Each structure stands twice: as C-alpha cells, then as structure tokens.
Amino acid sequence: MQLGDKMIQRPVGTGGASAPRPLAFPLRRRTFNYPLHTARILLVAALFGAPLAFGAVIPAAWTALGLIASVALFLWALGSVQLGQIKPLWSPLYVPLGLFFLLAAAQSAARLTLDTSETRQALVLLATDLIFFFLAVQLFGGARGSALQPFGMAVLIFAGCLGLFAILQSASGAQRIYGLFETPNSSMFGPYVDRDHFAGLMEMLLPLAILYIPGRHGRLSLEGSVWRISAVVLALAALLLSGSRAGLLAMAAEMVIATVVLRRAALRTGQKRRLATAAGLALVAGVILFAYVDPGWVAKKLGSVAYVNRTWTDWAAERKAFSRDALHMWLEHPWLGVGIGDFETAYPHYQSFPTDQWIDHAHNDYAEAAAETGVVGALLILATVALFLYLAFRNAAHLFGSNAGWVRLGAAIGCCGLLVHSAADFNLHIPANAAWFAVLAGIATSEQSGAGVPVHSTGCR
C-alpha cells in the first residue's frame, strides 16, 4: 500500500501471486493563489514604504500609494476569480463609509465646494483609504486570518527599526530628514515632517507589536524574547522622544483600554506571564532608554501634561482657537459643509487670531470633518466610530485563543489611540497614517466578516 512516498508491501503467498499493487489514496492539495499572495505583499509593502516617504505627504508619494492600492485591488479580484469565489467578505462598516464617500462625490459632482480641485484630491485620498480598508478585510479576514501572524511579526520588526532610526537621527542632531531634506520649523522627527505625526504612527504600531509577543503559542527562547522586547523598547522610546503631548495622552488611553479588556478576559497562566513580562520590561526599558537619549527639553515638554504651565496653556489655547473657528465655519454651512478638502481654502475668512502661518488644518480631525461635510458628514463619522468600537470589542474577551486574535486586538487598540490623538491633531490627513489606520481598522473588525474562503483552497499561510 502506498501512503505518501513509502511503499508497504503485503506478504506474498505461495500460490504464484503477482507483485503487489500500490493502493493510492487521493490527497487534497493546497493550491497556492499567487494573485492573492501578491496583493497581500503589495499591501504590506505600501504600508511600510509610505512612512519612509515623509509620511506620503508629497504628491508623488500619495499618488504611488493610490496606484499600489488599485493594483492590489485588481490582484485580489483576479485571485478571487481563480478561486471561483468572487463574493467579498462583508463588513457592516461598508455602509457608513460608502455613504460618506458618496457624500464627498456628490459635493464634487454638484460643485458644492469652494475649491473643486482640492475636493477632487481629497476624494482620491479617501478612495485610496477605503480600498486599503476593503483589502484588509478581504486579505486578512475569515479563513485568511492565518496571515495575521507573519503580519504581526513584520509590524514588530518595522516598529523597532523605525524607532531605532528616529533615535539615531535625533541623537546625531540632524536638522534634515535622511540628512538631505529640510523641513519647515525644524519639527521633523524620523522620516516625518512633524513630530506629532510620527507619534501618531508609533501609537498605532505599538499595541499590535506588544500583543503579538504573548499571542505566540509555545514558549519563546531567550534570544527570541530579547530581540522582540528590544524592538518594542526602541519603538516606545522613539514615541516618547518625539515629544508629542497628544501622543503621550493617546498612549495612556491605549493602556487604559488594554487593561479593561484584559481584566475581562480569561487568560491562561502562560499568556498572563508572557504579557506581564513583555509589557513590564518594555515599559521600564523604554523609559530608561528615553531618559538616556533625551536632550533635556523633551521630558519637560511631556511633563507639562501633568501640570499646567505656560507651554501647555499656549498649546491648548491654539488648538481651542482652531476648533472654535472650525465650528463657526460649520455653523455657516451646517448641512453639507464647505466641501471635503476645502478647510484650508475657507479658513482665512474665519480666522480669529493673528498669525504669520498658513493654517491648512484644524488640528482636530472631528471639527475639520464637520466643517467640511456638515451635519450629514458628522453623523456618518459618529456612526462609523461607534460601529467600529462595537465590532472591534464585542468579542474581545474571546480573541485570546489564537495568534490572530491577539493581533486583531492590538490593531483595535492602536486605532483607538489614533482616534484619541485626532482630537488634537490631523493624523488622518497624513496619507501614510490614514492608510495604516484603514488597514488596522479592517483587521480589527474582520473577525466576524462573514464566511471566509476555505483554508484548503486559499493557499495563504
């Protein structure tokens, strides 16, 4: 009898029996779907490459981001056709997100905006982010959730390398990104033009990187534990070194959310031990590394969060003025707003304080979105956030039975951190950060996104 590659022969009788015939059992082969695999690689490559291109804020970078998203979408469709399963995985978030896109498209088509060119550009960026969200659900949801374990590993390595680069660049005293490119106001950090936007990225990556470590089944070797925790330490120290007060508050909110979720979960003893060890060592070592590389002023700036001083008062007053002006803009255009992407064009008419700087964003993504899309857009945004929180955390206590569940929880907490940060900045208008947010939101909410493709036919491991 043939089983695999081995031949087991039966005893031959004395009656002149012929040679034994092998009995072959049909085995179901796992087919490897190259289009789906390539689409996933493109998606991850775009996520890792966008922050390195200054956060993809320059036109060439965000245009490339849109092209890559379109190619990945085509490859997903091609791979689905090859599998004979074209029906996409469903997410309830498609409804409010689709309606918001239709609202923006209607503004552009009906010329209900102050600057049609800015509206078209914002529409392209919004479409790109929606494609990233859709691809995240399709490529990491359902039966394809097994791909989340290598994704978590890749995020951990990327966060550590990006943190190391930012720390070394800061320690060198460089005033240019990569030593070549100047930035306005010398506010650059790492590959980003602005420190707060670097912090926005890191606060999304850190929860996923930390929760990936205890989510691995089995015992890690000492070497494996050391390098994984070291990557988290570098990312954490870089986030603190950025000096972003909103980033620090967002990280504190993430810690509170993680504590609440984990207290309600029935974790195994080994998982609790790995989580406590990884989080404790990373936090202590990260703070020590930050204190060592801090030039002195960063700790004072972050310390202003705990007590009110002039620096904190000035910062808060500026953010409050931006939001108040955005509210006035909303009150004059209550239903549909001034047009998506047109805050910069409309703001000079509503500016309430003198400054020699050109204000392009409200430093509050919620106020800016309301001013640009009116009551209709604001309601859709509130519905989207509420639905995201429900989908991401409704089964949070049951996510710890698999590696993918830990990664999904880390993605959900990272999105919550950016949602908190967005009340004092405009990270969602930075193409790289918006793409990361879209993908992590898709991963966080894709667990119950319908029946996935059978594992034996996807070839995605």
Report the helix count and the strand count for the chain, using DSSP H and E: 16, 4
Specify if 455 maps to a domain: no
167, part of any domain: yes
What does the pLDDT look like over 347-378, one tens digit per residue? 999 998 887 788 899 999 999 999 999 999 99
| Any domain includes 46 | no
Number of domains the chain is built from: 1
Burial of 19 (0-12, 13-18, 19+ CB in 10 A): exposed
Question: Is 339 within the bounds of a domain?
Answer: yes
Decide if 25 is inside a domain: no
Residues 198-243 have pLDDT tens digits of 999 999 999 999 999 887 755 566 677 889 999 999 999 999 999 9
Cα 427 to Cα 240: distance, rounded to the nearest angstrom: 17
Write the pLDDT tens digit of every residue in 20-40.
444 443 434 446 788 999 999
**Residue 159 lies inside a defined structural domain of this protein:** yes
Q: Which of 39-48, 135-144, 224-233, 387-396 has the highest mean pLDDT?
A: 39-48
Burial class of 267 by CB neighbour count within 10 A (0 to 12, 13 to 18, 19+):
middle
pTM (predicted TM-score): 0.89
Residue 304 lies in a domain: yes
What tokens does 377 get?
A: 């857009």
Helices within 30-147 (DSSP H only)? 34-52, 59-83, 94-109, 116-140
Q: Which tokens in the block code for residue 152? A: 């978590």
Residue 19 within any structural domain of the chain:
no
Identify the weakest region by mean pLDDT among 110-114, 255-259, 270-274.
270-274
Instruction: State how far the alpha carbon of 197 is from the alpha carbons of 72, 136, 244, 245, in Å.
Output: 26, 22, 9, 12
Domain extent, residue 109, equals 57-449
